[in-house]
Amino acid sequence: MPTNHHKQRENSAQTLIRARLVGLEGQFWLRFDANRCLTHLEPMEAEIPLEFQENVLDIAGDLLSLGGVDLQINGGLGLAFPEVTQADLPQLQEICDYLWGQGIDAFCPTIVTTSLENIRRSLAVFAEFWGDPQPNTARILGIHLEGPFLNYEKRGAHPAQHLQPLTLKNLQQVIGEFAPMIKIITLAPELDPSHKCVEYLRSLGIVVSLGHSLATETEANQAFAHGATMITHAFNAMPSLHHREAGLLGAAMVNPDVYCGLIADGQHVNPTMLEIFLRAAKQPFLVSDALAPIGLPDGVYPWDDRQITVTHGTARLDNGTLSGTTLPLFAGVKNLVRWGICDLEKAIALATLAPRKALGMATWTTGKPINLLRWQGVDGTVEFSRL
């Protein structure tokens, strides 16, 4: 890693001109102060004050985006987030550095189903790390707990012995004192027909995402009515669309208040189904769902008390069960463009604007520091660089 990675960038105030911005129509000029705070965002037709006409960078019509936001990533550089200990604090920083290099501004470390002891130890380590944010590195938005309140029949690669019934008592035991740092919890809503757990989580400000579930359309809609606002990795670990039973997936796709996470690696969801989904879903967004070996070459790696084999970025258990990917978030963006499913701007928005919207975060907002990616065509492919 570069030795000066965390030093504050030596910035001076700067004006960018002739920039196209993902999610906005037309070309713009932008003004940043010396702390990279966006102070002005105006259409090119608007006059640029004379005092802003020094240190000008002409973007020449290139596309600019915010950095990526990954709401589901399970580890990195060989470290699985459910297994972190205090000794891993330096490696957590290395993971944040690596993700920053992959264009990621912020992410939700995901703790999948494991023992209560492991969950609470991992939360304690992240709480310590979370309290010491560094500049110029991917920051942690909060933890995504994927489990242990999942449907046994749709557990996928989650270990059955650590699944728990969805009750308030169990939920409170898992969360403990860590509620302020938990951003998302994935659960199967049919495990609690009263939906008191969904209401409780929403009262804590935690986003409830439905997944690893056999919920019917009616059960899903009831959970949405009680405060669930997201689904986890659409199509995977849930019944697919059926013309007589829309199920959880169908209910989520047509609800304008529900955000649908999607993995675009070509393995979790067939590209044709990706295209159908993206045409129909009201609020889709991309996730990587990347496992601990992200940033490492293909090979065989430990995974809880089992092992996974990574081939061309796809991870499977020994029995062939798909367990995840090791491709970064923007690999999905490039796939969608390469397959002709989305134009570049829409694909980028799915990894930058859409996940921010899912968490109620600001996007192109003045008065806040903003990191930018500049997108350009290189030898027939699309690449980005940090500005």
CA distance 95 to 76: 6
Decide if pLDDT at 384 tops 50.
Answer: yes
CA distance 346 to 61: 17
Decide if pLDDT at 226 tops 80.
Answer: yes
Say what the alpha-carbon torsion angle 100, 79, 260, 263 is, to the nearest 10 degrees.
80
Strand partners, 259: 230
Residue 324 has what pLDDT? Answer: 84
Decide if pLDDT at 283 tops 80.
Answer: yes
Q: Are strands 259-263 and 372-378 parallel, antiparallel or unpaired?
A: unpaired
For residues 45-72, average pLDDT: 95
Say what the alpha-carbon torsion angle 152, 154, 160, 163 is, to the nearest 10 degrees.
-60
End-to-end, the C-alpha distance of the chain in Å comes to: 19
Decide if pLDDT at 386 tops 60.
Answer: yes
pTM for the structure as a whole: 0.94
Residue 380 has what pLDDT? Answer: 64
pLDDT tens for residues 110-147? 999 999 999 999 999 999 998 777 889 999 999 999 99
Decide if pLDDT at 207 tops 50.
Answer: yes
DSSP 57-99: EE-TT-EEEEPEEEEEE-EETTEEGGG--GGGHHHHHHHHHHH
Angle value at C-alpha 290, between 235 and 252, nearest 5 degrees: 25
CA 181 to chain CA centroid, Å, is 16
Q: Which residues are catalytic?
A: 289
Flag the least confident range among 20-29, 125-134, 343-352.
Answer: 125-134
Q: Is the Cα dihedral 370, 108, 222, 120 positive or negative?
A: negative
Which among 119, 192, 109, 120 is positioned nearest to 150, based on CA atoms?
192
- The single-letter code of the amino acid at 237 is A
Residue 265, token pair as written in the block: 């690696």
Residue 14 Cα distances to 26, 28, 62, angstroms = 20, 14, 17
Residue 94 Cα distances to 69, 153, 172, 182, angstroms = 17, 36, 32, 22
CATH level 2 (architecture), domain 14-66+366-386:
Roll (2.30)
DSSP 152-213: GGG-TTS-GGG-----HHHHHHHHGGGGGGEEEEEE-GGG-TT-HHHHHHHHTTPEEEE-S-
CATH 3.40.50.720 fits 68-358, yes or no: no
Residue 8 has what pLDDT? Answer: 46
| Per-residue confidence band for 11, with pLDDT thresholds at 50, 70 and 90 | low
For residues 351-357, average pLDDT: 98
Q: Where are the domains of the chain?
A: 14-66+366-386, 68-358
Residue 7 has what pLDDT? Answer: 46
Residue 223: HSE in the Cβ half-sphere, 13 Å Cα cutoff: 34
Flag the least confident range among 208-217, 301-310, 355-364.
Answer: 301-310
